Structure 1
């Protein structure tokens, strides 16, 4: 069968379809469980969660499914907090805060790795089947600890060199994030703009250079994309934007409506919201802030400074000031349950395969 391979066997899933671990409340336990129950691999995006929230969500997922699932973590980045840089950014952000009636300026504390380390402990304690990483590589010590607990490890790469680094550290498989992908770029070796390689070009090159299973990501939203990725040598796909408009997704209705009404040429890669390049729907915030882009504080400092703005904009129905991450294939998105999305993808793959067989 087209869906049986090393990846599905090792992840303990029926279909080689992984729902991306989108952080910030998007991947609700209900979404994760729905994808896993449909035969794919649901992933909890725990990048911005506290340890307590991480454990709570893992336990909720376990109540909703007995199938395999993953938790995605962000490798911590600890830039120096420069007071003058923060003050300048706050001055540029002041008009948005005033318009939204946000009285307080967020406090930027010294950045530590404590939360990440605690999340790793929780993943081991809760015996999470799969742990995936974005924005870099965990230490060899952490890799060894997780492997001792028989947890499958999935890394993220945007270039072949990053894929090799994932294999060398001990990742069991690697997500190759093409430039079409929505959300933050996972680049960790070199500059992001030199790592904007399209999925179609990236996958076969990675497959030829590493021995671990390769997972295709970026612009894949339906069965055609899944089958194309498999033909290119990937053993699975990771899809994010396709699940953003699902009924179980945690994003608000304005965000879902924006994706459903967005065209492929209305997207932009911006670091204005978080200090790290990410692909999303162009809006007023991005347009007004992009002239300051090179002078903004690094991730996650800028992310902390804009968090109240993004949150309050959502509450006040102001999508023009929300961060709305989205990949380059928004036209394929539909308002359906996650299980219906997975079922439609599988049906389309099989329809194409059977159609080709009948012509042969």
Structure 2
């Protein structure tokens, strides 16, 4: 059992549990605030965070930036003393603006993946917000640590290691996911060896959090046994009372069977894990699904060439419009059998 606090400089979470960021609209201020209140680290997803704003269709960037502050304030009101951060994808258009908006709102921590956040230290400047890149392989850990060392003369405040059992977009090629699942412990050991080299160079500990497929006490204990300082958990928090998603989204997890969990290809070519539903079957059949005007979410998206709009599909999910939705999930989503509280989830993990 590990109930040691997670320390990042002067910022300390009482419990070594980070709630993973889930967009669109799954981990907003309600869930993040509830996790932070219990002593973990609550993470708000910045991905199309303003989808409920009245002007989202006309001015998505402005709506999103406004909602960054709104959702942070909501979380902070629930956990005045808790640790609250944002997950901001490098692949997002307007990435720098979202990072600065999160910092201006008061975020303690910025977790950043979906690409390597090479320029995150420059964007954050002297703000004091803690910076946490996400890596999935030894190679990506080497690249980001070396780059930050050479260009900014600094190391991450936290390193998140996200494995192939994670939900949503995955940091692996489609063909290597199944094989890596069998031997990911080896990759984690290699990543931690890279981290150790930079710890020695800076004479400073770099906390690490292991993510992907951590759904119960045994998986959490295993993560700690490998040397992780914390665990990052997302899927387990979907089926909580406090999760910001519609109840029908949560029930889709509860009703899912193991055979329903599949690897899909997103419109921008990245592999992801989701629940097979009516929407996925239409995509698998090659149907071109009409979509709304572009909301400018991801850099590499060409609206004229995509089979469906990922923003539309994820907003349908958050609103509980299940048959029209992309239901991103982790590998163990099928294990959920009831709606719990955030406290119950954390207690079951630790």
Q: TM-score, normalised by structure 2?
A: 0.77
Q: Write the deviation string for residues 27-72 of structure 1: whole angstroms up to 9, x where unpaired.
A: 1212111111111111001122311111111122222212111111
How many residues are treated as equivalent by the alignment? 303
Pick aligned residue for 1:133 from 107, 112, 123: 112
Asked if residue 323 in structure 1 is aligned to residue 326 in structure 2, the reply is: yes
> 2:327 & 2:100 partners in 1: Cα distance?
31
Which residue number in structure 2 is paired with residue 174 of structure 1?
159
- Retained in 1: the 8 A contact 2:16–2:229? yes
Q: Write the deviation string for residues 265-293 of structure 1: whole angstroms up to 9, x where unpaired.
A: 32111124664321011123223323549
Change (3 A) 1:125 1:64: same
Pick aligned residue for 2:72 from 36, 58, 69: 58
- Retained in 2: the 8 A contact 1:128–1:151? yes
Q: Specify every segment of 5 or more residues in structure 2 that has no aligned partner in the other structure, as ranges.
A: 50-63, 149-154, 197-205, 288-297
Asked if residue 339 in structure 1 is aligned to residue 343 in structure 2, the reply is: yes
Deviation of 1:10 after TM superposition, in Å, equals 6.1
Asked if residue 118 in structure 1 is aligned to residue 97 in structure 2, the reply is: yes
- Retained in 2: the 8 A contact 1:152–1:172? yes
Provide the aligned C-alpha RMSD in A: 2.9
Q: Write the deviation string for residues 301-356 of structure 1: whole angstroms up to 9, x where unpaired.
A: 449735445545776x652331111111124434111122112322xxxxxxxxxx
1:92-241 equivalences under 5 Å are 113=93, 115-140=94-119, 142-146=120-124, 148-168=126-146, 169=148, 170-187=155-172, 191-194=173-176, 197-198=180-181, 199-211=184-196, 212-241=206-235
Report the more deviating stretch, 276-285 or 36-45: 276-285
Which residue number in structure 2 is paired with residue 43 of structure 1?
43
Which residue number in structure 2 is paired with residue 28 of structure 1?
28
Change (3 A) 1:270 1:10: farther
Deviation of 1:145 after TM superposition, in Å, equals 4.6
Report the more deviating stretch, 214-223 or 13-22: 214-223
Greater helix share, 1 or 2? 1
Q: Specify every segment of 5 or more residues in structure 1 that has no aligned partner in the other structure, as ranges.
A: 78-112, 347-360
SS of 2:309 mapped into structure 1: helix
Change (3 A) 1:160 1:309: closer
> 2:317 & 2:169 partners in 1: Cα distance?
20
> 1:43 & 1:310 partners in 2: Cα distance?
18
Which residue number in structure 2 is paired with residue 100 of structure 1?
none
> 1:336 & 1:41 partners in 2: Cα distance?
18
SS of 1:279 mapped into structure 2: strand
Larger-Rg structure: 1
> 2:231 & 2:225 partners in 1: Cα distance?
12
- Retained in 1: the 8 A contact 2:24–2:318? no
- Retained in 1: the 8 A contact 2:16–2:231? yes
Deviation of 1:20 after TM superposition, in Å, equals 0.2
- Retained in 2: the 8 A contact 1:203–1:214? no
SS of 1:143 mapped into structure 2: helix
Deviation of 1:221 after TM superposition, in Å, equals 1.1
Which residue number in structure 2 is paired with residue 279 of structure 1?
273
> 1:218 & 1:309 partners in 2: Cα distance?
23
> 1:248 & 1:219 partners in 2: Cα distance?
21
